[in-house]
Amino acid sequence: MEFIQQLVNGISLGSIYALIALGYTMVYGIVKLINFAHGDVFMVGSFIGFYSITYLHLGFFPALLLSMLVCAIFGMLIERIAYKPLRNATRIAALITAIGVSLFIEYGMVYIRGAQPDAYPRNVLPNKTFDIFGVSISSQSILILVTSIALMIILQVIVHKTKTGKAMRAVSHDAEAAKLMGINVDRTISATFAIGSALAGAAGVIFGIYYIKIEPLMGMIPGIKAFVAAVLGGIGIIPGAMVGGILLGVIEAIVSAFGFSLWRDGVAFVVLILILIFRPSGIFGKNMKEKV
């Protein structure tokens, strides 16, 4: 029963990784950039949710929506200021810039509010416990999982059914051809950053509700793990990020269930090494032949 309990916990954690991983995979799919500042957008979203609940006295869903809105604008600003001028630069220049933006956000937050942690109120969501076949499942975990899945479904609808989603897929496939067909590539890239950052903001609020404690450097480890989840599923592939995130959460939970909880952070990197050795394209990825 302890194993099943950990599995339930792993799925809840994995859904948070999946929401962050979606931002990584969407941005990479369109501009081939690993946005290492994405984990810090998640951190900013968590703090926006915290201040919304604590000082504006908003409920969970209004705080979630406000966090998503602010993070969407924040993501667009990051893209416009830091990444757009480097659109045609080398990959290494964009990568170093992403790391610089990440550190700037982290220590900018430390400068603004200090390094001390904050704690989400415990009564934001009703927390009843259901005992199902000896496994304790909290109503909070169920609501968090349902919210995460709903956001992933909304993303799929946006990508496959809307004009913006079609433009995103066209730019991802061939940006030059998309531009010739009248698609505004810059606007499409901004929309991609906005959607990915909004999902990271939602993940930040969900993380705060679930784990209570938040602090300015909290985005680093979940951000890297979400990147591992995106690679695991197949970077640039949206369903891959969802599956990779949940799978990574379950793997961490299984490691904890076997009594190796101190190793759970290290397991993500073991998974990354194994996937790069045995299946570099990820679970959903396809090996592409390139002419040299």
Give the tens place of pLDDT for each residue, 59-85: 999 999 999 999 999 999 999 999 999
Domain count, the chain: 1
pTM of the model: 0.92
In a domain, 228, yes or no: no
130 DSSP β-pair partners? 137
* Residues spanned by the domain of 162: 15-117+132-217
Instruction: Specify if 153 maps to a domain.
Output: yes
Q: Kindly give the pairing relationship between strand 129-132 and strand 135-138.
A: antiparallel
- 2 in a structural domain: no
Confirm whether 5 is domain-assigned.
no
Residues 6+ apart with CB under 8 A from 235: 24, 25, 28, 29, 282, 285
Q: Is residue 285 part of a domain?
A: no
pLDDT tier, 246 (very low <50, low <70, confident <90, very high otherwise): very high
- Residue-wise over 94-116: b if at least 16 C-beta within 10 A, else e? beebbeebbeebbeebeeeeeee
pLDDT digits (tens, 9 = 90+) for 231-244: 999 988 889 999 99
Nearest to 127 by CA among 117, 115, 140: 140
| 197 within a domain of the structure (yes/no) | yes
Residue among 51, 56, 2, 45 at smallest CA distance from 20: 45
Q: What is the pLDDT of residue 292?
A: 46
Assess if residue 96 is contained within a domain. yes
Arithmetic mean of pLDDT, 91-109: 94
CA terminus-to-terminus distance, the chain: 54
Which has the closest alpha carbon to 167: 182, 154, 156?
182
Residue 208 lies in a domain: yes
